[in-house]
Amino acid sequence: MDIPAMTEGMKLIGYLRVSTEEQGKSGLGLEAQRRAIRKECDHRGWQLLRFEEDVASGKTTNGRPGLNRVLAACSSGEAQGLITAKLDRLSRSVVDFGKLIERAQREGWDIVVLDPALDLSTPGGRLCAGVLVQVAQWEREIIGERITAALAEAKRRKPGDLAKLSKERGVDVKPIGRPRSLPSNVRARIRRLYSSGHSYSAIARRLNAESVPTAHGGTWHASTVRKIVST
């Protein structure tokens, strides 16, 4: 489906993201993004319906309720596109961004990125988008080859070596077979730390400093801690 040109009065939803709870609470990073988006919409005569935001890593577009709400609004026709201040606020993954571009082109809505300048409704924007989609496809194929090779190597290694193997191969190698469950005392400790005011990131740093393994034998991240707290 063709994406309509971004004419005056087009309805957009602004998408904001910061990567840590501290940034989310301070609001400083979010406010700078809001200002940039409002300024561009005022300049172009676009109608800014609202903002949606996430406090999450940009490594993947998964697990982001704010972005999911934006995409649902675009798919339903409530909005004609999304606008974000910087590309890394939307995605730091070429593969994930390629998927977003493909979805936007398939459903007929627009993506506007202010830095670097990208607008799918313009010929130049579509050209850049096409290149990014091709790069994303290439990266998916390369990652697939790496995972195949890494899994073959994982069969010859102990579960405790998987974190090192993941770093060597540049992919996240999971244990083969049923994963170990996290000990109940570790789960309870994580929930106590969170209840006492520690952030996800702070808890992850403490567990890594104490060499407490995850259920997969890898390192802790804020997203890993968040899953434990929410389950």
Residue 95 lies in a domain: yes
User: Got the DSSP string for 16-30?
Assistant: EEESSHHHHHH-HHH
Task: Tell me the residue range of the domain where 225 lies.
Answer: 184-230
Q: What residue type is 100 in one-letter code?
A: L
pTM higher than 0.75: no
The whole-number pLDDT of residue 227 equals 87
114: its two tokens: 């202010």
Q: Collect all residues with Cβ–Cβ distance below 8 Å to 221 and sequence separation of at least 6.
A: 57, 204
Does 163 share its domain with 189?
A: no
CATH of the domain at 99: 3.40.50.1390
* Separation of alpha carbons 157 and 141, rounded Å: 25
Pick the more confident residue, 217 or 168.
Answer: 217
Does 138 share its domain with 196?
A: no
Does 173 share its domain with 104?
A: no
User: Got the DSSP string for 189-223?
Assistant: HHHHHHHTT--HHHHHHHHHHTT---TTSS---HH
Residue pLDDT, tens place only, 130-188: 676 566 566 666 666 666 665 665 555 555 555 555 555 555 555 544 445 788 888 89
Average pLDDT over residues 193-221: 86
For residue 19, indicate whether it is catalytic.
Answer: yes
Residue pLDDT, tens place only, 8-26: 789 999 999 988 765 655 5
Contact 97, 121 (CB under 8 A): no
Inter-axis angle of helices 94-107 and 123-154, nearest 10: 130
Contact 44, 8 (CB under 8 A): yes
Residue pLDDT, tens place only, 97-130: 888 888 998 999 999 999 888 888 787 777 776 6
Active-site option among 19, 91, 93, 121: 19
Contact 200, 222 (CB under 8 A): yes
Number of domain units in the chain: 3
Does 98 share its domain with 50?
A: yes
Residue 91 lies in a domain: yes
The whole-number pLDDT of residue 142 equals 67
